[in-house]
Structure 1
Amino acid sequence: MIIAIDGPAASGKGTLAKRLALHYGLRHLDTGVIYRAVAKAMLDAGADLNDEARAAMVAQTLDPATFDDPALKSQEVGAAASVVSALPKVREALVSFQRQFAEQPPGAVLDGRDIGTVICPQADVKIFVVADPAVRARRRTLEAQARGEPADEAVVLADILKRDERDRNRAAAPLKQADDAHLLDNSHLDIESGVRAAIDIVEAVRAGRLRA
């Protein structure tokens, strides 16, 4: 079974994806981490984030062992990832990796911004997770503070709105809800309620109560 979880950053989709993978005994891939890894490598090298050829080369030589680097969660890397993820050659280089991960038995839960529309359009279940931008900014600020990083909630909100606009309007795999994806508004749900809502969607699709 392949489950595609899409939606904007800090909407809670990452946590939902991890919990769904655990619940169903599937593997999990946060595809945003892949782009963050490319972005961090570009930043570390002092390279121009818009250098498409160089970014694509980095994408082709990624080491999955770096995906657990806590530095990938920083606001700077997140903003840079939004830039490199808009480069067609970078996305092309990483599509194969993501699809191969999804297709390995027994299946997987992938979360990102183009899983249901581009990476796994054949996914068994697609869920599009959203949350109010102000709620997302608060969550992101608390996460940064928990890591000991300074964070201004107003600045974080401005960054979120800017990234959403860029991601929705990029030429390559724009952020949008797939026609057959089920919307889950996570604005006012705690973790447990959000996970339960996501499981309910999966079970309804599997039982034929909702369209796949």
Structure 2
Amino acid sequence: MEDISYKVPVGASTAELVIKKSRFVAAVGRAATRRDAEDFIESVRDLHPAASHNCYAFVACAPGGTDIGFGDDGEVSGTAGRPMLTLLEHSGIGEVAAVVSRYFGGIKLGPGGLLRAYTDCLRTALGELEIKEHVPVRNGYLVFSYAHENSIRVLFEKSGVTITSVERAEDVRFGFAAPFNIAENLEERIASLTRGKSKFVWT
């Protein structure tokens, strides 16, 4: 089956560069949603209220997704946010947000110099970022008789399915989180195992 896992940040990282008296400070962290990205950007702005510019970019989705964005915060168009986003997209990391804060040192760097400064600072921070593999999951629940509990637990364990809740009454109900790459066939395998005597629902 296709491997749909991807890399995501663990925690955050920072980096700092000084170029012709301008100080550039990069911060990178996880942003699973656009709201997460906005919150991260705002938190970095709060840390650097005196910065001349707080330029940002984010990929708030899996790599290659469309929930992306960037901003130049007054810098020359095309020299900060857009190249930062391109760097994030080429990194292969998903659910990530980045801000590079610039403290102007009095010497203009020119468009090419700005682009290199913002991307070099961000690249350094990405190099310090701890990452992990993330496997998207699909949630659901399963209701079945007590006689099938052990065999279902074994199937879930072998398939990488996590049991998220257990309720016991006349029957057993498992809440679960299944990796997307096995979710398509899971319902069929459960039906075969229980001979159709179970209730399987995606939530």
Q: If the TM-score is normalised by the length of the shorter chain, which range does it land in?
A: under 0.3
Highest Rg: 1 or 2?
Answer: 2
Q: Which has the higher helix share?
A: 1
Instruction: Name the structure, 1 or 2, with higher relative contact order (CA <8 Å, separation 6+).
Output: 1
